[in-house]
Structure formats: C-alpha cells, structure tokens
Structure 1
Amino acid sequence: MPGDTRARRVPRGLVVALVLVTTLAAGVLTGCSRGTAPPPEPPPSLAELKARLPLYRFLYALTADDVRVSEARQRLIAACMDRHGFRYTPPPAPRTSDHATSYPAPFGLEPADLVPPAVPEEPRGEAYVRALYGDPDKRISATDRTLRVTRPATGCQADAEERLLSDGRVRWLTLRLRLDDGEKQSRGAIGQSVEFRAVGDRWQRCMRQAGFDDSDPVALQRDLPAEADARTGPRARADLRCKESTGYLTTAYTVLGAAQRAWLTEHPTVERDWTALRDRQIRAAHDALGAAAPR
C-alpha cells in the first residue's frame, strides 16, 4: 500500500512566500553590492600624465627644492654684480605651479595650450654684460652624440653656478644633454608600439569623419597657419575632439612613459649622477640662502 504523501507536501502558499523572500533578499544584496562598489576612477589629467614621465621629472618638473636653488642662484648673482657696481634685477621667481605650463607637448595641440609671456630684458651695456657673463673667450663646454653646448667660464653667473655645483658644472651640462637625447630617443621608439599605432589609426578615422585628411597630430600642428586664431579653427578643434574621443593623449603619454623608463634602465649612471648633483645644489642653496641677507 503506498504511503501517505500528504505530510511531505509543502503548501503552495508557503512555496510562493519562500520564492518571494529569496528574490527580495537577492535584490537587496545586489542593491547593496551596487551601492558599495567604488565608482570608477576618472582618467588622469594631462598634467598628471606628464608628471608621470620620468625624464620630464628630471628636465621640466619644478619642486620646492628647485625653487630654492633658483632663488639662491639669483641672490648669488645679484651680490656678485653689486660688488662690480651694477644693480642686477633677477627674473620673476619660479613657482611650483608653473611646471604644468613648461612641459613640452610632443603630440601636437593639447587642451589649454599656454605660452608663457616673454619677459622683457633690461638694457645692458658692455661692462654690465662682461660682469655678468665674464670673458667671452673663456667658456666651458659639454658634448653629446650630435650636440655641443657652452656656458661662461667666468663672470657672476659662472661664479654662482660654481658655488652651487663646485666642480660639477661640466658634468651637469653633459647630463642635461644626455637627458635631452634620451627624451628624443624615447619619442622615436614609441612608433614601434602596437597601442600607439592603433590609437593613431583611430585618430585618423575620426579626423576623416570630420572632413580632414591629416596623417598625425604633429604634422597637423606643423601645417596650421601662423595666425593667432589658428588653434581655435575647425581643423584644430577637430584634432582636439578626436584626441579626446579616442584617448589619443592618454595612450601616447602612457607609451612614452614606458619608453622613457626603458631608456633610463639602459643608462643607469645618468639618473644616479643627476640625482647626486641635484642634491649637491640643494645643500649649497640651503647654505647660500642661510648666509645671504634678504634682498
């Protein structure tokens, strides 16, 4: 005789209630998880992208220590010129907020392109120039693969630099050339990047849809008319819109950062020596500012 199954049956109303409770609980949990999930991080700003580039930090970033070194150099020059009987007016003191506008733009036009205003120079006589820059026939020089630079070996400017760098002036010039060369080599290397080529293709397609047949943003900027309002024209606006919609600048600066880090890895003495000489200047600037009377 078959057993009585009525005791094992679950009432239909209870089943429906359990399903509803389960569904509601799942909805609550889902809602909680959605509510507590962190919002996506905003993309980095252009200034942040540039500040992450290792060679840009050496060549263009301006820290509080850099400002102190600049201030010490100008005070030392002014004191030296005063001893020669000349009043030296230093250029405007740099600010740490100025570095964002001093970064180069290797990928053509960028949002908020700013050009620092030119600072007019004071009239200078021959005696003034000689006191400041010394004997024109006496120079120090540094040479890299394709470039040679020189600086005064005598005069108030040279004296100030020697006070801060001691015997490291030529090495400092040489390292500056090496870093410039590393920046150029890194810029050339990113053409091998799959990501950079892909974003360049997307930029080209976007520009064609806007009615322009440019090969790349750098060539576009180079070919713009020289008029002051060229940057606000339709071609330039299309360039900036396409850069934003394709993520061109984010990709370009990310790839460039990787190329610069690779270059520094291949040239470890550059970063080591640059840091050592920079620290030497910071210490000397501290001493000079502590000893110099405010002007």
Structure 2
Amino acid sequence: MRGRTTALIVTTAAVLTALSGCTEGSAPPAAGEGASRALTRAEQARVDQAEQRLIQGCMKRNGFRYWVEPPAGADTVRAFTNRFVQDDVEWAREHGYGGRLRKAFLAAKNHDPNLAYRKRLSPAERERFSDVLDGGSKTRMLSVRLPAGGAVRTLDGGCRHSARQKLFGDTKVYFRTDKIATNLVAVYTPEIRRDPRFAKGLDAWSRCMREAVGRGFAEPDAARAHARERAGGLSTSGAHAVEVELAVAEADCARKTSLRSTLSRLDREHGDPVRDRYADEITTSNRLKLAALREAKRLDLRG
C-alpha cells in the first residue's frame, strides 16, 4: 500500500547487532525523562498505538473505518530482528530462530481487517481511502540518503501525516533523523568483518558448532539456512524441533567461545566513532520520540 517506507537501494552488509535491548545505532539510554535516550520497546509500542489511534480518528472523520491492531509482542519483534548471532539460549530453547512466531504474525496479516475493508470498497472509494490515508497524487515524498548508501522514502500526507505531526512535530526532520539513526550498523560492519578478532571468534564458534551438531558452519547465517533446508517438508512441530536444535547450539557456542562478547566489544570500538559522527541525528531522533511518548501519554489521559 502507498505510504509505507520503501527501500530504493539496499546495502548488502550483514547486520551485526549483538547487543540485545538496544536500538540499533543509538547511544545507551541516559537517565531521566528529559534526557535524549532511546525508547524502550514498550514505550515505542505505546507511541505506535497512539499513532494508529490518531489515524483511526482521522479516517473516521473522513467517512472511513479503520482498525487499530494490537502491538506485536516482544518475542515476535525479536523474531524479526536481524541478529548476526543468536546468543540467548533460553529464548532459542523456546522459539528456535523464531520461525513459528514469524509465521503466525504473517498469517495474522493476511486477515488484516483494514485490507479486507479496503477490498470491499468500490474502486472510487478505494482510491479515496488511499488518498485520505496517505495523501493524494500531489502529496510530497520524503526521501533520505542512508549513511551506508541507498535511500528510503515515504509519502508524507493524509491521516498518517497528521498523526505523525501531532506526535513528532516536524515530520520531515523526524523521518530524516530516525532513518539515519537506525541505519548506522551497516556503516561499520565492513570494519568489524576485517578485524582479526572477528575472524578468530568466528573460527572458534564454527569449531564449537562442529562438536555440538556435527557440522562447522562458516557463520550463523549458514546454520539458519541449513535449518530451513532440513525443515522443508516437515510438520510444524518437526520444523520447530530442527530450529531449536540448531538455534540452541548456536547460542550456546556464541557464549562458550566468547563470540558474543567479542562482537559486543567490536561494536563499541568500531561503532562508537560512527555514532559520534551522527550524534546530532541520534539526539534529535531520540528527542522527538520522547516528545511523542509524552504526547501519547497525554492522549491516553485525555481518553
């Protein structure tokens, strides 16, 4: 559907997000509501829900129905997070690589009431629905170049625009700073991959995997590809069991061989200079998100 952010050019660097609980490309949270800090996942979900409710009210005023979907759970969000290595043994033991969570989420998306409602509209009303939601043909397109190359863009009109303006203020500034602040890992990934400590940690992890499951994978992505290959044609429970076996071994080996701590150290050494370089964008993005959180709380209190 129109209005969704579209990647025009994507980078090929792998995402090396080894640290859990931190927003990619953001500085560590600072104490105090007034400080510039990244939102927690729960806080971000609250902002997202506020945006959806504002869109719902705007659509209703324009004669359309609009459903606010519940936020995805923390485990589902994690299942869609691109991590270089699985390092949480307990999570892997329960969810494997998150295959069942992703499948359930996508299945629910196939029953999105907004899509079903839009399909039932006449062609003319369907077009007007899209225009009201995202803006008409003359709506401006926001675009930003990413630090590692490529660009993202989105329509900035309709009810989406009014909702984001209510929460974040200047939607152009928010879009630019947010996309830069959350796409910094790809900038320094090549440096991490060239670091001898990365190769050493990966070799140790590979040897550990050979001992654990009888196969030494070049890197975690290869283990996940192997899991998908083995799971092909199996029942849901059988496929999950395969995922769990390899994911648990991957996480256990990441800890036993210190690959996890090595990645954490390399992220700080190679990533901190990049985050310093884009400190203004990170600070502005965090400040606007905190302002949006305060507005979301105010709207909740107002009922």
- Which of the five TM-score ranges fits, normalised by the shorter chain? 0.5 to 0.7
5+ long unaligned stretches in structure 1: 1-46
Q: CA deviation at 1:133?
A: 1.9
Alpha-carbon distance in 2 for matches of 1:60, 1:221? 30
Identity of aligned residues (%): 18
User: Given the alignment of the two structures, is residue 279 of structure 1 paired with residue 290 of structure 2, yes or no?
Assistant: yes
Deviations 1:159-200 (A, max 9, x none): 11111122x212222223323431212333222434322211
CA separation in 1, counterparts of 2:57 and 2:268?
41
Question: Counterpart amino acid of 1:248?
Answer: L
1:190-269 to 2 correspondences below 5 Å: 190-209=192-211, 211-222=214-225, 224-225=228-229, 227=232, 229=239, 232=242, 239-269=250-280
Equivalent position of 2:55 in the other structure: 77
**Residue type matched to 1:176 in 2?**
D
Question: Could you tell me how far 1:49 is from its partner in structure 2?
Answer: 3.8
Q: Distance in 1 between matches of 2:196 and 2:251?
A: 22
Counterparts of 1:152 and 1:54, CA distance in 2: 24
1:87: how far off? Answer: 1.9
1:50 paired with 2:60, answer no
Q: Is the alpha carbon distance of 1:164 and 1:240 closer, same or farther for their aligned partners in structure 2, counting shifts above 3 Å? A: closer
- Aligned ranges 1:128-143 → 2 under 5 Å: 128-143=129-144
1:162 equivalenced with 2:176 (yes/no): no
Q: What are structure 2's unaligned runs of at least 5 residues?
A: 1-16, 29-36
TM-score when scaled to structure 2? 0.66
Cα distance in 2 for partners of 1:288, 1:236 equals: 42
Q: Could you tell me how far 1:100 is from its partner in structure 2?
A: 4.6
2:142 and 2:156 in contact (8 A); partners too = no
AA of the residue aligned to 2:58: C
Contact kept in structure 2, 1:60 and 1:99, CA below 8 Å: no
CA drift of 1:144 comes to 1.0
CA spacing shift, 1:94–1:231, aligned 2, 3 Å: closer
What is the CA–CA distance in structure 1 between the aligned matches of 2:47 and 2:250, rounded to whole Å?
Answer: 39
**Pair 1:192–1:60, CA change in 2 (3 A):** farther
Residue of structure 2 aligned with 1:270, choices 281, 286, 303: 281
- CA distance change for structure 1 residues 213 and 97 in 2, over 3 Å: closer, same or farther? closer
* Alpha-carbon offset, residue 264 of structure 1: 0.9
1:11 equivalent in structure 2: none
Give me the whole-angstrom Cα distance separating, in 2, the residues matched to 1:284 and 1:177.
21
* Contact 2:193–2:199 (CA under 8 A) maintained in structure 1: yes
Q: Aligned-pair distance for 1:91?
A: 1.2
CA distance in 2, matches of 1:53, 1:196: 22
Q: Tell me what 1:173 maps to.
A: 175
Matched, 1:106 2:95: no
* Secondary structure in structure 2 of the residue aligned to 1:202: helix
Letter in structure 2 aligned against 1:203: W
Instruction: Please provide the CA RMSD for this pair.
Output: 3.4
The alpha-carbon deviation at position 282 of structure 1 amounts to: 2.6
- Matched residue, 2:10: none
Partner SS state of residue 205, structure 1: helix
SS at match of 1:181: coil
Partners of 1:230 and 1:97 in 2: CA distance: 15
Give 2:71's aligned amino acid: A
Q: In 2, Cα distance between the equivalents of 1:142 and 1:59?
A: 23
* Number of residue-to-residue matches in the alignment: 244
CA distance in 2, matches of 1:107, 1:200: 10
Mean Cα deviation higher: 204-213 or 67-76: 204-213
Residue deviations 1:221-249 (CA, integer Å, cap 9, x gap) = 34552626287167666545533432323
With 224-233 and 188-197 compared, the bigger mean Cα shift is at 224-233
* Equivalent residue letter for 1:232: V
In terms of Rg, which structure is larger?
A: 1
TM-score normalised to structure 1 length: 0.68
Alpha-carbon distance in structure 2 between the residues aligned to 1:194 and 1:231: 35
Amino acid in structure 2 at the alignment position of 1:51:
G
